[in-house]
Amino acid sequence: MSISGSIDLRINLVENSNIIDFLVAFENSGWIIDIFGKIQFLPLGDEDFDWQFIEYSNRELVESILIKKFDLNELIGISLIKKELSLYIDVLIYPKFEKISFLMYSRKTILDLDVTDFSWYLNEIIPIMIKSGFSIESIECCDA
């Protein structure tokens, strides 16, 4: 029985890629960072996955932190929700977009099985990545 799922994408960096355009692409596809009025993210200098919450009204502050983390080649973490389905994912973006991990805890599963429905997630994520101009080198899906 699994309790979480993950998808790891190895990608090629697109010229002029930035974290804000990445987030906007997901938001334009129905994934939002406003989780009940809060934004969950990894702060500057984080090395222990000490997720922080900040009021959504401070979105510009969070965006400036994410941009700074990107510029400093720090691991970026942000939580997204597909609101109409109440599905949450934590997104980890490694320096220079070399790898992006999507972590699912309250996840969509296959029928009554406790297996993550990776095809559903890939159908959600891959088109967003392609529309954003990313070239995907490899995909790894895992239930744990």
d(CA 121, CA 81): 12
DSSP classification of residue 16: T
pLDDT at 1: 60
Q: Which two tokens stand for residue 12?
A: 């090629």
Neighbours of 96 (CB within 10 A): 11
10 Å CB burial of residue 15 (0-12, 13-18, 19+) is: exposed
d(CA 57, CA 37): 8
d(CA 120, CA 142): 14
Q: Which residue has the higher pLDDT, 111 or 20?
A: 20
Q: Would the pTM of this model clear 0.75, i.e. be above it?
A: yes
Q: What is the largest CA-CA distance in the chain?
A: 44
pLDDT digits (tens, 9 = 90+) for 81-139: 998 888 999 999 999 889 999 999 888 999 878 899 999 999 999 999 988 888 899 99
Instruction: Parse the chain into domains and list their residue ranges.
Output: 5-143
128 contacts 26 by C-beta, under 8 angstroms: yes
pLDDT digits (tens, 9 = 90+) for 36-90: 999 999 999 999 999 999 999 999 999 999 999 999 999 999 999 998 888 999 9
Q: Which two tokens stand for residue 137?
A: 């080198």
